Amino acid sequence: MQGNKQMIDKMGYDRSITMFSPDGRLLQVEYAKKTVRQGSTALGIVCKEGVVLVADKRITSKMMVPEAIEKMFKIDDHIAATAAGIISDARVLVDRAQLRAQQHSVTYDSKIDILSVVKEMCDLKQICTQSAGLRPFGVSMLVGGVEEDGTLKLFLTEPYGLYFQYRAKAIGEGEVEVDDYLTKKYKPTLSCNEAIKLGLSAMKEFLKDEFNFERVDAMLITVADKRVRSLSNEEMKNFLK
């Protein structure tokens, strides 16, 4: 009987986003984080010349068109993002961030700063951790870019609305392994070419025999032009020769 009572109690806290469990946990938020860990891997690297994002598209069928799988997002000319978890949730956040960036550009005639974009995402995520009838966003996002003054930034946004700034970070199913790889290999003095090679090598190290250039996307934002650029399969192949 005691075991049944504990199970019933847990199910009650489990089903409500607005109720803390007796040990101070929001279980729905923790489940959202677990959803992220089941998502395909993505990573970001800040180097001396720019920011690099690399993502695994995890192609599940030979009949799928690889180019149609969306894991990389351009938020503004100088800001890009990638995600792990429920990608449909990521699109909602990206659409909101793109609109915010456009409004800022029209209102102030200047590019929006990266932290404002990150806070916009995280504010919405946080609201969904305290409102009945909602669920947390089941996605983490890496947001990177170049500020107008040339400062390079990479942020991680968590499902519960918290954000952190990193020099290099991985999210998704390969988070632990890829983070370890990046920690060992990363140097602040990396060039863009070296950072791209490091990102692709880290992804290859994790995916092993499943790695191929059809299932990997890469984006680059450089200090020189402050514009988001996608790398082609041929360009990526040249970095791992």
Q: Is the pLDDT of residue 4 over 80?
A: no
The tens digit of pLDDT for each residue in 86-135 reads 999 999 999 999 999 999 999 999 999 999 999 999 999 999 998 888 89
Percent of the chain with pLDDT over 90: 81
Domain ranges of the chain: 41-239
Polymer length of the chain: 241
Give me the DSSP letters along the chain.
-HHHHHHHHHHHHHH-TT---TTS--HHHHHHHHHHHTSPPEEEEE-SSEEEEEEE-----TTS-GGG---EEEEETTEEEEEEE-HHHHHHHHHHHHHHHHHHHHHHSSPPPHHHHHHHHHHHHHHTTTSTT-----EEEEEEEE-TTS-EEEEEE-TTS-EEE-SEEEESTTHHHHHHHHHHH--TT--HHHHHHHHHHHHHHHHGGG--GGGEEEEEEETTT--EEEPPHHHHHHHT-
The larger pLDDT score, comparing residue 165 to residue 22, is at: 165
pLDDT of residue 10: 55
Q: Residue 8: which pLDDT band, with cuts at 50, 70 and 90?
A: very low
Using CA atoms, how far apart are residues 15 and 6, in angstroms rounded to an integer?
A: 14
Which residues are CB-neighbours of 170 under 8 A, at least 6 positions away? 41, 42, 43, 178, 179, 182, 202
Residue 186's φ and ψ, nearest 5 degrees, are -70, 140
CATH code of the domain occupying 41-239: 3.60.20.10
Closest C-alpha among 149, 144, 84, 69 to residue 114: 144
Give the chain's end-to-end CA distance (angstroms, integer). Answer: 64
